Amino acid sequence: MRPARKRAEAASALACALLTLAAGRAGAALDTREEKEEKPVESPRDGQADFDFVIGSWTVHNRRLRHPLTGFDSWNEFEATSVARKIWGGLANMDEYEGDSPSGRIRGMTLRLYDPKAHQWRLYWSNAANGRLDTPMVGEFKDGRGEFYDQETWEGRSIYVRFIWSGITPTSCHWEQAFSADGGRTWETNWTMDFTRAVTVLELRQYTLHPGARDTLVDLFDAHFVESQEALGMRVFGQFRDTGNVDRFVWIRGFEDMASRRKALEAFYTGPVWVQHRAGANATMVDSDNVLLLRPAGESAGFALDTQARPGIGAPEVPGGVVVATLHYFERPVEASFLSWFESEVHPVLARAGASVLARFVTEPAPNTFPRLPVREGENVFVWFAAYPDAEAHGAFLRRLEQLPEWATRLGPRLRSMTKGEPERLVLAPTRRSALRFRSGRS
């Protein structure tokens, strides 16, 4: 076995060769003249910050080919989490990955090292199942796309392996792995990961508006306040007309954590988009202080939602059904025992009555670190969200629920004994560009 340094040098040479091969193929037909114009020599770019986008916490949707290089097109899909942090002042970073695949739990780690002389990265993957660093993938970023290569043995065959990072935004990115068994002429993608930045803090915002002003705010919001917030790392999950109050606008946004929330809000509310449109937005509002600060009620309790798939500006109106937020109020902070009881006993009964529960949240107890935007203090709530084809379907769900014996005689009375009064229900109609909406076959 070659020493690690020799393997790294070989991998680097392979990466350079493959990148050069790709560039050569792309440009082979561009200029066949004997005399070529001299071009200025560009200085190598400093790529030390190339992986800054991956720092933080992520949820990861995986698609993995079951049998690579066999021609058998069958994939497994599963969810995972990833947490990355910088080391050595940014010359390196490391992430920890955990996912439950159909073939078993995967616990992995990637160590990424930047070589400032070669202006390249070396990526070392390690799986807890074998406890060693694999052969490094070597490569670099160009125009927002990263390509990395190595040569390995796969089930007795010598192959090339390629990683690609692409689609990088403040809240999402895409990774894929491909194998080549013919020297890089053709590639078969066998594993993709779609990363969505994890949300641990959520705002449920209810605005009371001047009579007749709601559509003005909806149009302003959909046109100007979605992408401008997400560009700063926020997630705008949904914006709605409250079907029970013609003068109420409700919207939901999320943040990676409280520190990220403060930084993003400071940037947005002093930034050019809000400065330009704040007068028009504020003119529609009577009150904007009805805000609950929430956090997911468990490891996988938040919204599993790709906000990048929302309808675009100017897209035709698509029926979005209704999204219903059910709020239960408590005298004291919601205890873990209640959340366990809800998941094990209440959730299955809600599903049997026809509710597809999308997410569950409880009050975020941390102090509001951006007092310019007040939140409701001293509240103890548990909120669950579901989506239905229309308000009538939600009403039918409530009737079916009350008719189930286990709800009528046991679960319903127990829930009411734990909480303060009847639950508050917000029946919300998504706006044209809301990402959170009812989708046929899934929500």
**pLDDT tens digits, one per residue of 188-216:** 999 999 998 889 999 999 999 999 999 99
Same structural domain, 346 and 213: yes
Same structural domain, 365 and 423: yes
**Residue that is last in its domain, among 158, 181, 196:** 196
pLDDT score of 15 = 57
d(CA 128, CA 13): 28
**Residue that is last in its domain, among 169, 196, 223:** 196
pLDDT score of 435 = 94
Q: In angstroms, how far is CA 339 from the centroid of its own chain? A: 24
**pLDDT tens digits, one per residue of 77-94:** 998 999 999 998 888 999
**Owner of token pair 């909806």:** 218
**pLDDT tens digits, one per residue of 95-106:** 999 998 998 999
Percent of the chain with pLDDT over 90: 77
Contacts for 239 with CB less than 8 Å, ≥ 6 apart? 218, 221, 222, 226, 249, 250, 251, 252, 430, 431, 433, 434
- Both tokens assigned to 389: 């084809």
Same structural domain, 205 and 190: no
pLDDT score of 34 = 42
CB 97 within 8 A of CB 82: yes
Would 128 be classed as within a structural domain? yes
Same structural domain, 380 and 396: yes
Same structural domain, 188 and 298: no
Count other Cβ atoms within 10 Å, centred on residue 147.
19
The Cα diameter of the chain in Å comes to: 90
Mean pLDDT, residues 358-378 taken together: 96
Count other Cβ atoms within 10 Å, centred on residue 360.
21
**Could you tell me which residue, 362 or 38, shows the higher pLDDT?**
362
Would 370 be classed as within a structural domain? yes
Percent of the chain with pLDDT over 70: 89
- State yes or no: pLDDT of 179 exceeds 60: yes
- State yes or no: pLDDT of 439 exceeds 90: no
- What average pLDDT does the structure give for the chain? 90
pLDDT score of 17 = 56
CB 210 within 8 A of CB 216: no
Would 378 be classed as within a structural domain? yes
pLDDT score of 18 = 58
d(CA 185, CA 430): 47
Same structural domain, 391 and 253: yes
- State yes or no: pLDDT of 14 exceeds 70: no
Where does the pLDDT of residue 309 fall: very low under 50, low under 70, confident under 90, or very high at 90 and above? confident
**Owner of token pair 């009150």:** 287
**Owner of token pair 């050569």:** 24
Same structural domain, 231 and 378: yes
Contacts for 15 with CB less than 8 Å, ≥ 6 apart? 120, 137, 138, 139, 147, 148, 149, 150
**SS3 of residue 143 by DSSP:** coil
pLDDT score of 442 = 45
pLDDT score of 32 = 40
pLDDT score of 12 = 55
How do 157-166 and 285-296 pair as beta strands? unpaired
Mean pLDDT, residues 31-54 taken together: 70
d(CA 116, CA 124): 17
Same structural domain, 227 and 111: no
Query: Which of 135, 160, 196, 178 is closest to 18 using CA atoms?
Result: 160
Mean pLDDT, residues 37-50 taken together: 74
Same structural domain, 408 and 371: yes
HSE toward the beta carbon, residue 396, CA cutoff 13 A: 9
To which H or E segment does residue 412 belong? helix 412-418
Would 286 be classed as within a structural domain? yes
Domain of residue 281, CATH code? 3.30.70.100
d(CA 319, CA 438): 8
Where does the pLDDT of residue 25 fall: very low under 50, low under 70, confident under 90, or very high at 90 and above? very low
Same structural domain, 223 and 280: yes
Same structural domain, 140 and 242: no
- 65 φ, ψ (degrees, to nearest 5): -65, 130
pLDDT score of 91 = 87
Would 349 be classed as within a structural domain? yes
- 18 φ, ψ (degrees, to nearest 5): -70, -40
**Could you tell me which residue, 401 or 19, shows the higher pLDDT?**
401
d(CA 215, CA 207): 13
**Residue that is last in its domain, among 196, 223, 258:** 196
**pLDDT tens digits, one per residue of 212-244:** 999 999 999 999 999 999 999 999 999 999 999
Residue-number span of the structural domain to which 244 is assigned: 201-430
Where does the pLDDT of residue 393 fall: very low under 50, low under 70, confident under 90, or very high at 90 and above? very high
**Terminal alpha carbon distance of the chain:** 52
d(CA 17, CA 180): 15
Domain of residue 14, CATH code? 2.40.128.20
Would 33 be classed as within a structural domain? no
- State yes or no: pLDDT of 67 exceeds 60: yes
Where does the pLDDT of residue 316 fall: very low under 50, low under 70, confident under 90, or very high at 90 and above? confident
Same structural domain, 409 and 379: yes
CB 138 within 8 A of CB 14: yes
Count of the separate structural domains present in the chain: 2
Mean pLDDT, residues 291-313 taken together: 88
Mean pLDDT, residues 304-332 taken together: 89
d(CA 81, CA 100): 10
Where does the pLDDT of residue 253 fall: very low under 50, low under 70, confident under 90, or very high at 90 and above? very high
Would 125 be classed as within a structural domain? yes
- Both tokens assigned to 239: 């914006």
Where does the pLDDT of residue 22 fall: very low under 50, low under 70, confident under 90, or very high at 90 and above? very low
Would 36 be classed as within a structural domain? no
pLDDT score of 19 = 55
pLDDT score of 414 = 97
**pLDDT tens digits, one per residue of 265-296:** 999 999 999 999 999 999 999 999 999 999 99
